[in-house]
Structure 1
Amino acid sequence: MVSLKRVLAGLTVLPTVLAHPPPFADGRGHKIAPKVFIISMFAPEGEAWWGIPEFDILAHNITVPGLSPLFPHVHCTADHAVCQLITGESEINAAVTMTSLVFSDLFDLRSTYFFAAGIAGISPLQGTTGSAAFARYAIQVALQYEFDAREIPQNFSTGYVLQGALAPGQYPLSIYGTEVFELNQDLRSHAVAFAKKAKLADSTTAQEYRAHYKQNGTHEQYKIAALPPSILECDVATSDVYYSGNLLSQAFDNTTRILTNGTGTYCTTAQEDNASLEALLRAALHGRVDFARIVIMRTASDFDRPYPGESPTYHLLQAEQGGFEIAVENIYRAGIHVVQGILDGWKETFDHGVKPSNYIGDIFGTLNGKPNFGPGRAQSLEESGALLTKRSRAELSKRRPLRL
């Protein structure tokens, strides 16, 4: 989540690279089998990996049907060990792009590590701008009923009510399946250890802005927001809505706790991750990717709520928070250690995979295992409509308002 000035500044279209791949994309009769696939979401995130000293990600540019019209190519190093694509912003773009990639016959992605590396908003309760946060959970927080706050009952703390529930704070009774994804915590530990080798970028502008979150030492809850950037382990919320303010941020913090049964920590807010993960999960179900080989890193470009005394509208629309530039820079500074760590440890560790000690997957248990969130597989499937009976249809009709 960035200021609108920064969003508009970032909407530059990448240069079009004319590419006509041979029948097999590596030119030798083999599918491309990257060791690491970097997922970027928009132009500045993608360009963070261009022109770096470690490798040339633009050595190959491969047209893949179904990718964004703005970003129609997969970029790869000369040996195809590292590849990158840009999904385009928002859940729809991410879902279509990632689905097109994982079901493309140009690639063999069964042993590939997917590294989603982008910018995000951050809660000042958990971190500060420039920080790099690695997620275990991705939560689709906007999958809710929404009432204008001016029209909610007096006993409602927010206008957001989870689907099928009757009031804020209740668990959803209508399950879509994309509400929560849990990733490999053991792989995350490796990625965090690699990233901690980085010297993160910072700026005077960012330092001056974040100092407001601890004015005269009176706002102890925000003390971490005034610190320099760091490497964090906390979770990402997915929403196509750019929101700002204490009330909305608190509401989605609560949503995170509810949907993860109290085990998730709301930290960053972005637009694409649940969409990308759903595409990867469906591909994993068909043996095309390994869902245990996914890392999500979000670098903080701005805060999700204003400092005490600042208005939410000014905070989002006008304030110069100074976080955008350092967040983009830290995608590379932290991320390159993750990429290089996987490559350098390929034979010893990563070729065989990092076995997760925790559950991985969605709320349905689609990839087997028992989620430590949600009401359980059977109930989730029934509430999603996958196991419809006459009785469950009648129950669902009571829970859901009909849309004609």
Structure 2
Amino acid sequence: MTVGKLVAAALTPKVFIIDFYNDEGAIWYGIPEFDLLAQNTSVPGLSPRYPDVHCTQDGTICQVVTDEGEINAASSISALVASPAFDLRQTYFLLAGIAGISPELATLASVTFGKFAVQVALQYEIDPSELPANWSATGGFIPQGTSDPNAYPAYIYGTEVFQLNDALRQRAIAFAQNATLADSTTAQAYRALYNSSATFAAGSRPPSIVACDTATSDNWWSGNVLAAEFERTTKLFTAGAGTYCTTQQEDNAVHGALVRGNVAGRVDFSRVISIRTGSDFDRPPPGMSASDNLFNGQSAGYEASIENIYRAGVKVVQGIVNEWNVTFAAGVPTNNYVGDMLGSLGGSPPYGPYAKQVATRFQSTKRRGRTRMR
């Protein structure tokens, strides 16, 4: 990453909100707590549809909208990190977007806080119609470098798993617990379709704050087989530590750009928080097809999930700003590994017996000028 030299008037935000498209971004405008449109800064390299960073007049709180999908998210955050207009070395980043949600763990309009983000589609995939008979429940995904759906991946790109600062996550959850969450009649009606299933009991309840993890894929999918597959992938890639509950298209891309920004001395990856609110269910209720859930259930929790980005998120933003001198200026000490699959920020990623081999092979190949592990 090429970074620009900081300018004398560089803004030093305490919190940077990261949204992914217009509705997520606009929910923060016109709120009583602060005015994000007080000053706008054009940043070269941002999405042509969202070319400006918005900030409060004093620059304490800022927002960027990356545009949707992994490429847009990675490109926009890389441009932001490299911009000399901002000094982000003490900034907290709040990823705040909607997501598909698992009715096994949570429900429409719930607000989830992730410790792990897992790039679940970064695998081999076989056409489901041509799967071996004993693989029928896998959805066709096999970890790279293996021929066994249950084997730990032998080829690592480094973006498969990012782990955030859990002590910071717990503080953010405590702030969000003070929010009164929105709900809607459409969410309630769709939620009721899950009442008859004990497995989906969480999906039938009112929205709440939930600690669980997120899966990143550019594919927008629906169905029990894929949901079970990506639950399995999350467990596998995190050596059993991750608990899948939401699916979205950007988090790993944002984290990848921020980790590289940390390596470049531009940001602190231990200051990253991820919020995802439940817009639609990742699998259908009993008696409904996956296609009906995908095409007819997309908007069931949409309105309330957008609203709860703000209702929960603003409590986190205010908590950080209000307690800046007491707690957050110095940073929240980590109590777990923080970073990517390669140990880019120090330490060894604790993901299965392959973890030490990953670190060793990465260092040896880096010395030889190669970083792809085969």
Instruction: Map residues 257-336 of structure 1 onto 2, 5 A cutoff.
Output: 257-319=235-297, 322-336=300-314
Query: Which structure: larger Rg?
Result: 1
Deviation at 1:322, TM superposition (A): 2.0
Deviation at 1:321, TM superposition (A): 5.1
1:33 matched residue in structure 2: 12
Change (3 A) 1:64 1:246: same
Deviations 1:329-378 (A, max 9, x none): 00000000000000000010001100111110011111111222142244
Find the residue that maps to 1:292 and give its secondary structure: helix
Find the residue that maps to 2:134 and give its secondary structure: coil
2:97 matched residue in structure 1: 118
Whether 1:85 aligns to 2:85 is: no
- Percent sequence identity is 51
Deviations 1:144-184 (A, max 9, x none): 11111110100113211111110211111000000000000
Change (3 A) 1:59 1:212: same
**Aligned pair partner of 1:207 in 188, 205, 214:** 188
Amino acid across the alignment from 1:155 = N
Distance 1:192 1:175 in 2: 31
Amino acid across the alignment from 2:29 = W
Amino acid across the alignment from 2:12 = A
Amino acid across the alignment from 1:191 = A
Deviation at 1:380, TM superposition (A): 5.0
Whether 1:198 aligns to 2:185 is: no
Distance 1:114 1:151 in 2: 43
Whether 1:341 aligns to 2:319 is: yes
Deviation at 1:24, TM superposition (A): 8.1
Distance 2:75 2:365 in 1: 23
Whether 1:171 aligns to 2:164 is: no
Distance 1:295 1:320 in 2: 25
2:335 matched residue in structure 1: 357
CA contact (8 A) 2:280 2:298 kept: no
CA contact (8 A) 2:342 2:362 kept: no
Distance 1:316 1:129 in 2: 14
**Structure 2 residues not aligned, in runs of 5+:** none
2:165 matched residue in structure 1: 184
CA contact (8 A) 1:176 1:384 kept: no
Distance 2:131 2:360 in 1: 31
Find the residue that maps to 1:130 and give its secondary structure: coil
CA contact (8 A) 2:17 2:62 kept: yes
Distance 2:134 2:281 in 1: 28
Amino acid across the alignment from 1:89 = E
1:76 matched residue in structure 2: 55
Distance 1:289 1:24 in 2: 13
Change (3 A) 1:358 1:45: same
Distance 2:27 2:128 in 1: 39
Change (3 A) 1:347 1:316: same
1:127 matched residue in structure 2: 106
Whether 1:42 aligns to 2:32 is: no
CA contact (8 A) 1:175 1:383 kept: no
1:399 matched residue in structure 2: none
Find the residue that maps to 2:200 and give its secondary structure: helix
Change (3 A) 1:175 1:349: same
Distance 1:84 1:352 in 2: 22
Amino acid across the alignment from 1:213 = Y
RMSD: 1.9
1:245 matched residue in structure 2: 223
* TM-score under structure 1 length normalisation: 0.87
Distance 2:148 2:183 in 1: 42
Find the residue that maps to 2:100 and give its secondary structure: strand
* TM-score under structure 2 length normalisation: 0.94
Amino acid across the alignment from 2:296 = Q
Distance 2:253 2:20 in 1: 12
Distance 1:386 1:213 in 2: 50
Distance 1:381 1:103 in 2: 30
Find the residue that maps to 1:386 and give its secondary structure: helix
Find the residue that maps to 1:365 and give its secondary structure: coil
CA contact (8 A) 1:174 1:384 kept: no
Deviations 1:287-330 (A, max 9, x none): 11011100000000010000011000011012365200000000
Distance 1:86 1:377 in 2: 37
CA contact (8 A) 2:110 2:278 kept: yes
Change (3 A) 1:141 1:24: closer
Find the residue that maps to 2:305 and give its secondary structure: helix
2:201 matched residue in structure 1: 223
Distance 2:40 2:263 in 1: 28
